Structure 1
Amino acid sequence: MPNLLKKVMNLLIGTEPIVTDMSTHLPKTAAKTQKPLKRPFKKMTERELIQLESDIGAQLFGSVPKGHRREFFNLDLSTWIWYDEWIDATTGQRMNMTIRYEVHENGILKVQEGARYNFIEGRELENFMAAIHLYYERVARELYNTEPHHSHPLQAHTV
């Protein structure tokens, strides 16, 4: 009975799953990815793996300018996040922008701050699709040390 209670509590409260040690598969070039190498015997959380994936995703669009911070990652089966942070040259204030891309059966919905929602199309859609395919390839090879599977096109997942 105590084991059942523990499972129910974990379902209700939630716990972050522990992932096997990935330190041997980490890219050796990205500066942020050096951090987990300092603790090679601890297991990595899902959040830490997403951060490592984001480090790779940020590099897909060219080098990140000095003073900028960029993230691009796959949050779940149907959500992609783009985050950019910089210092405004005229005001000196820290600025940021977050864009969420949601995969739906009828297209990719771009959700921006200020309640701006639109389905992407044309060149923007082509660029997004190219970016996620490159993301999958690089993350699979550089972080998880495996070859990416290209058997399924991007599709909306429903629970």
Structure 2
Amino acid sequence: MASVLKKALKLLVGDDMPSEWLKLPKRKRPLQPLSERELLTLESEIGAQLFGPIPEGHRREFFCLDDKTWIWHEEWLDAKRKLQADTIRYEITDKGILKVQAGPHYDYLEGDELRNFGVAVRMYYEQIARQLYRRDPATHQKLV
């Protein structure tokens, strides 16, 4: 059982795992890996902060769903206290980055919008690597 725990921890934290992690008292439960959904939620919380403060009464998400899909979602209550929502899906294709909105509206990103999306993606990866995974985004080495 200990070897399974060691392998799981190595997958979670890499090769530089402190050995004292494995010396937990028996009454404590060992670390459990986060599910993919839990990681996505944590990444989304960090991604939401990239675009400045979230207005009161708003909920925002920005995250990478898979290799080719990014999601921007925002919810808020309007003046009549009715829930409003806006979701934009960005699909990475061979032709460019396709912006998909409700309606349906499909447009490829161009100009400033394309540059801003690129900056947001780089900031997202840097913040996720540093804050969530505790890794240097350039070298992938564990941060101290």
| Normalised TM-score (structure 1) | 0.68
After superposing on structure 2, the runs of 4+ consecutive aligned residues of structure 1 that deviate more than 3 Å are 18-22
AA at the equivalent of 2:66? D
Distance in 2 of aligned mates of 1:126 and 1:40: 44
SS, match of residue 97 in structure 2? strand
Task: After TM superposition, give the deviation of residue 42 of structure 1 in Å.
Answer: 2.6
Partner of 2:108 in structure 1? 119
Distance in 1 of aligned mates of 2:30 and 2:102: 39
1:107-153 CA-partner distances (Å, limit 9, x unpaired)? 10000011110101011111100000000000011101111148xxx
Count of aligned residue pairs for this structure pair: 116
AA at the equivalent of 1:127? N
CA RMSD of aligned residues (A): 2.1
Partner of 1:73 in structure 2? 63
Partner of 1:141 in structure 2? 130
Distance in 2 of aligned mates of 1:45 and 1:124: 33
SS, match of residue 42 in structure 1? coil
| Normalised TM-score (structure 2) | 0.74
- In the superposition, relative to structure 1, how do residues 40 and 84 fare at CA in structure 2: closer, same or farther (>3 Å)? farther
CA contact (8 A) 1:60 1:135 kept: yes
Give percent identity, aligned residues only. Answer: 53
- 1:1-159 to structure 2, matched below 5 A, reads 41-89=31-79, 91-149=80-138
Question: Which residues of structure 2 form unaligned runs of 5+?
Answer: 1-7, 14-28, 140-144
